[in-house]
Chains A and B, each alone.
Chain A
């Protein structure tokens, strides 16, 4: 809301610098955006919150300024002269839809001289950033910005049968508005029509045909109230918004409807000539006064934390235009003024007292009682995962939850994937309308972004929710996932997963087993990841077909894990296990076996044969070798063994016996022989 400094001085004396005015107003509820100088006047832009439509006018801002600075404001009381036939003889108005139009008034002025506006009127509108149109249209705008009540002036002679009908649009009707655009109307839109056709979109914009022109002689002035929701819907549906619709949507002062009409008529007669006909067409009942509200003085301190003296509290309410209806020592009953529909409850009054008394009165040094706020397990697990992955060289990404079709392919098959993914109904984004079900595709897109900028191997991870539609509920499941992408190879990524589990002290057996029914990953490297037997995710290398579709040039590995399982299984307080004081003995073995034998089989055999040997400490895969003197179809597997006595230094003979047992077991179960 832009206000003119000069215009405000019509209503009260401004004897303070503009900076003082705007700062004090900002601290009392009218936030200051900026002040600009416009041709000797100051255009002060104030932000008016949606609960205060009464401040969308110069009178409203003057009223507020008077309260804030303890001044008196004067407002005009128009009393135009009337001549001739009563308006009811010359014009007729019917309101067919009183729910959407609770009040409609019309006045008639004949014999006007439409033309350019006088200098002062043009100047004032110019300060507000408005272009002058003609004196009649400018006056309706002036009164709108003076008191907040929108008005419309019709060229009386262009109205069929000189009548107005407030009704819903009929099927197939359209209107060319004063902005010269044609609008097709729907039957839920409220229009102002004459006997033949719509001549205006109620509360939003007038029609071109009946607007005031140089040749206009007789003017019918509309001042009305319309249902805010209806105005908003019509405006939204047509993509139209105006200073009028903005105010209708927020609610008007019901006692300004007739005043504004009178004020407008008086100014037209003064500035454009003509005669005002007696009477006013006035349809609909005046609005009911707002019901009284009780304020218990004791509640003020309970909310604000400071006491405000009774007299001071009551004086603030009275200054704001509330009438004291009754009072006791503990409470006061007040009636809000017509322009404050927002004052309905005790808490509304307390806010008024707080804001005028001043929030700076509220102290900021209370002692807040201590309370326990332990860090939750989820936060602690997130910390461990983030610190581990960053130590391993991965950067954390934050990607959008909404994705395009292109990025909506499945990674982690879940039962809800049979249902279509959730989509938003309306978006400012053309493509990103789907709520993602997996994280990996978004990270692949981020990898592509980096590739295109010269970083071929962006290693990224993200922890975020995904959205899985449920059959029986409108709200989806929102499991949390951890996704990781990077170059390298399968074992590198598996090592990352293993490190994570180790840092979270998850001792359940990690298994990765080949699966082939998911098309995103290359089948030969797609693995289902299980932990203690239950599936926690999938990993593998992204299939070249998908890489091509995403324009990813570099090979890429990805893993998508259930983060909820990690939280559940993480052991953040591990127990100490006794360590031996004695040295370890290491032995490396190379065993040649058929190349169909997986490492898992080797490790199972070794662990099985050593399970009762207290000196066995562990085995480590080192590498595999084929070719050379290893026969075709066979592979040499090289691994390390570690032994250690709990209570003594082991002898070579002891270790030799254990190793021999391992070699023998591998020979029997895996047809493996020592490499020579």
Chain B
């Protein structure tokens, strides 16, 4: 008579046989992926599958039987895995016939909600703020209604200067006006803080130009200011080149042409030529902060030097998006806005 242990060992081997034959049968009969998956869970599942039980069975066997059981277990497991794989492949191949015919894949996607769009001027302004931020310029702000001191006097534009003509400015009274340039923010920043200073001001400015495709009585400027000991025109050229290169995403050369602004000296117009480009394109105006401006805000021009530059946001935006009429930017026609 066999010992009870031996009887049990034999049963374990028989169970393995049953597992194999039932498993192969289940995979062979499976007709869809759900059935394959159900069979996989039943036979090969790592938590509750029958193969798991069969594995645990090993521990209950006599040591002498374990080696043989282990080998048989491995071969059963391998056979079942192959059967599972084969069933998957079989189902996978036959599937397209039915599935594709039931769904028209050429129908448009479902877009339940129309997304809105940020204004192209905002997109341009954000990008400028971002790029100058990487160069260490933080955003500064100032009021849009200014006194003549900040808009003119402190910027070295004396009372008799033609730029102060009432017809070229939006005066609200003798002493207040809508700012005609963001340079006013330079003054406000320097009045409050001591160098080193590295700021950009961005915002609305106002000049009573007659409105046409390239002129508006309200537009946006971005103005940069850097003041410290030892700041020179070479730093100005470097900062503008780095800015232009990152804005255009290509290597850029910068060119200065002499110009005139009351609040900078030397004053220049800035042109850029990008890699592969065939002509210089105007970027904006720039220069070294005029000593009179430093004196107006109580900085010693013998100690500090600095540069300022100003760019037109509309011009950059229009060039970038091939917009040919500035008026489109303020009409807020959704057919225009949704292009950006």
A: residues with CB less than 8 A from B are 26-29, 31, 49-52, 228-229, 232, 236, 249, 301-306, 345, 347-348, 350-351, 354-355, 359-360, 362-376, 378-379, 383, 386, 389-402, 422-429, 435, 443, 446, 449-450, 453, 455, 458-461, 464-465, 467, 474-476, 478
Pair A460/B332 contact, Cβ less than 8 Å: yes
Cα distance A303–B291 when bound, in Å?
11
> Which of A359, A428, A465 meets B208, CB within 8 Å?
A428
| Bound CA–CA A423/B172 (angstroms) | 6
Minimal beta-carbon separation of B254 from chain A (angstroms): 5
A304 shortest CB reach to chain B, Å: 5
B324 at the A interface (CB under 8 A): no
State whether B258 touches A28 (Cβ < 8 A). yes
Name B252's closest neighbour in chain A (CB-CB): A364
Q: Is A398 a contact of B268 with CB atoms below 8 Å?
A: no
Cβ of A303 and Cβ of B288 under 8 Å apart? yes
Q: Are B121 and A450 in contact (CB under 8 A)?
A: no
Choose among A29, A302, A378, A394 the residue that contacts B305 (Cβ–Cβ < 8 A): A302
CB contact between B172 and one of A348, A370, A396, A424 (< 8 Å): that residue: A424
Bound: A229/B198 CA distance, A:
37
- For the complex, is B59 an interface residue (Cβ under 8 Å from A)? no
Structural contact, B204 and A376, CB atoms closer than 8 A: no
- In the bound complex, residues from chain A placing their C-beta under 8 Å from that of B233 are 303-305, 354, 359, 362
What are 7 of the A-B contact pairs (CB < 8 Å)?
Answer: A49-B260, A347-B266, A351-B265, A359-B233, A367-B238, A369-B136, A398-B122
Contact with A along B146-169 (1 / 0, CB 8 A): 110000000000001010011100
Nearest chain A CB to B219 CB, angstrom units: 10
On chain A, the residues within 8 Å of B338 by CB distance are 395
CB-nearest residue of chain B to A365: B238
Q: Which 7 A-B pairs have the closest CB atoms?
A: A305-B234, A305-B232, A371-B136, A359-B256, A49-B260, A390-B116, A29-B258
B146 touches A396 (CB 8 A): no
**B337 touching A366, Cβ below 8 Å:** no
Q: In the complex, how many angstroms separate the beta carbon of A360 from the nearest chain B beta carbon?
A: 7
A351-B267, A427-B217, A475-B145 are known contacts. Are A236 and B237 too (CB-CB below 8 A)?
A: no
Contacts of A427 in B (CB 8 A): 170, 208, 217
Closest B-chain residue to A348, C-beta based? B265
B135 to chain A, nearest CB (A): 7
Bound-state Cα–Cα, A229 to B160, Å: 6
Contacts A304-B233, A306-B234 given; does A478 touch B330 at CB 8 Å: no
Q: What 0/1 pattern do residues 249 to 280 of B give for CB contact below 8 A with A? A: 00001111111100001111100000000000
B258: chain A residues at CB < 8 Å are 27-29, 49, 351, 354-355, 359
Cα of A140 to Cα of B223 in the assembled complex, Å: 45
Q: How far is the CA of A393 from the CA of B337 in the complex (A)?
A: 12
The answer on a CB contact under 8 Å between B234 and A303 is no
Residues of A within 8 A of B162 (CB): 50, 232, 249
A399 touches B115 (CB 8 A): no
Residues on the B chain within 8 Å of A364, using CB: 234, 237-238, 240-241, 253-254
| B138:A374 contact, CB within 8 angstroms | yes
Which chain A residue has the least Cβ–Cβ distance from B165? Answer: A236
**Nearest Cβ distance between residue A184 and chain B, in whole angstroms?**
19
Residue pair B167, A236 in contact (C-beta under 8 Å): yes
- A305-B234, A351-B267, A379-B129 known; A425-B171 Cβ under 8 A: yes
Min CB distance A50 to B, Å, is: 6
B9 within 8 A of A: no
Which of these, B145, B196, B235, B337, contacts A422 with CB under 8 Å?
A: B145
Residues of B within 8 A of A345 (CB): 291
In the complex, which residues of chain B have a beta carbon less than 8 angstroms from the beta carbon of A373?
132-138, 198
Tell me how far the C-beta of A246 lies from the nearest C-beta in chain B, rounded to whole angstroms: 11
What residues of B have a CB within 8 angstroms of the CB of A371 in the complex?
A: 136-137, 196, 198
Residues in A with CB closer than 8 Å to B333 are 449-450, 453, 455
Q: Which residues of B contact A305 (CB under 8 A)?
A: 232-235
Contacts of A362 in B (CB 8 A): 233-234, 237, 256
Residue in B171, B237, B257 whose CB lies within 8 Å of A31: B257
Q: Tell me the minimal C-beta distance from B264 to chain A in angstroms.
A: 10
The distance from the CB of A407 to the nearest CB of chain B, in whole angstroms, is 14
CB pair B257–A390 under 8 Å, yes or no, is no
Cβ of B291: which chain A residues have Cβ within 8 Å of it? 345, 347
Q: Is B335 an interface residue (CB 8 A)?
A: yes
Evaluate contact between A363 and B234: CB separation under 8 angstroms. Answer: yes
- With a cutoff of 8 Å between Cβ atoms, the chain A residues found around residue B117 in the complex are 390, 395-396
Give the residue name and chain of the A residue nearest to B235 (CB). A366
Q: Give A350 to B288 CA distance when docked, in angstroms.
A: 11
Beyond A27-B255, A373-B138, A475-B145, 13 additional contacts (C-beta under 8 Å) are A232-B165, A249-B162, A305-B234, A347-B288, A350-B266, A351-B265, A359-B233, A367-B238, A393-B113, A393-B115, A395-B117, A425-B173, A446-B332
> A residues within 8 A CB of B241?
364-365
Report if A428-B139 is in contact (Cβ < 8 Å); known contacts: A395-B334, A401-B144: no
Q: Which residues of B contact A365 (CB under 8 A)?
A: 238, 241
Instruction: Point out the residues of chain A lying under 8 angstroms from B334, CB to CB.
Output: 395, 450, 455, 458, 460
With an 8 A cutoff between CB atoms, is B87 at the interface? no
How many Å lie between the Cα of A465 and that of B142 in the bound state? 11
Q: A401 and B259 in contact (CB under 8 A), knowing A376-B139, A390-B115, A474-B147?
A: no
How many whole Å from A191's CB to the nearest CB in chain B? 21
Q: Kindly list chain B residues whose C-beta atoms are within 8 Å of the C-beta of A450.
A: 332-334
Contact A474 B217 (CB under 8 A): no
Q: In the complex, A394 Cα to B332 Cα: how many Å?
A: 12
Chain B residues, CB < 8 A from A366: 232, 234-235, 237-238
Measured in the bound complex, the distance between the Cα atoms of B140 and A378 in whole Å is 11
Q: Which of A51, A360, A390, A395 has the most CB of B within 10 A?
A: A395
Kindly list chain B residues whose C-beta atoms are within 8 Å of the C-beta of A348.
Answer: 265
Contact yes or no, B238 A368, CB < 8 A: yes
Contact of B119 among A350, A392, A396 (CB under 8 A): A396
Complex-state Cα separation, A392 to B117, whole angstroms? 10
Knowing A232-B162, A351-B266 touch, does A475 contact B234 (C-beta < 8 A)? no
- State whether A474 and B330 are in contact (beta carbons under 8 Å apart), knowing that A303-B266, A368-B135, A426-B171 are contacts in the complex: no
Question: Would you call A401 and B234 a contact (CB within 8 A)?
Answer: no
Tell whether B143 is near chain A: CB-to-CB under 8 Å.
yes
* Chain A residues with CB under 8 A of B246: none
- Residue of A232, A301, A395 touching B332 (CB-CB under 8 A): A395
Closest to B160 in A: A229
Alpha-carbon gap, A49 to B305, bound state (A): 24
CA distance A449 to B335 in the complex (A): 11
Q: Which residues of chain A have C-beta atoms less than 8 A from B171's C-beta?
A: 424-426
Nearest-CB residue, chain B, relative to A350: B266
Closest Cβ of chain B to A566, distance in Å, is 16
Are B235's CB and A368's CB within 8 A?
Answer: yes
**CB–CB B173/A474 < 8 A:** yes
A582 to chain B, nearest CB (A): 22
From residue A366, how far is it (CB to closest CB) to chain B in Å? 4
Please tell me if the beta carbons of B206 and A401 are within 8 angstroms of each other in the complex: yes
* Binary interface encoding of chain B residues 298-340 relative to chain A, with 1 for a CB under 8 A from any of its CBs, else 0: 0000000100000000000000000000000111111101100
In whole angstroms, how far apart are the Cα atoms of A29 and B138 in the complex? 32
A393 to B173, CA, bound (A): 41
Q: What residues on B are CB-neighbors of A394 within 8 Å? A: 116
Tell me how far the C-beta of A1 lies from the nearest C-beta in chain B, rounded to whole angstroms. 14
Neighbouring B residues of A351 by C-beta, 8 Å: 258, 265-267
CB-CB nearest in chain A for B176: A474
* CB neighbours of A449 from chain B (8 A): 331-333
Across the interface, name the chain B residue whose C-beta is closest to A464.
B204
B53 to chain A, nearest CB (A): 29
Measured in the bound complex, the distance between the Cα atoms of B167 and A428 in whole Å is: 9
Q: Contacts of B6 on A, CB cut-off 8 Å? A: none
Specify which chain A residues have a CB less than 8 angstroms from the CB of B238 in the assembled complex. Answer: 363-368
The complex places the Cα of A354 from the Cα of B287 at a distance, in Å, of 12
Q: How far is the CA of A378 from the CA of B202 in the complex (A)?
A: 13
Closest to B254 in A: A364
A465 and B144 contact, CB distance less than 8 A: yes
In the assembled complex, which residues on chain A have CB atoms less than 8 Å from the CB atom of B248?
none
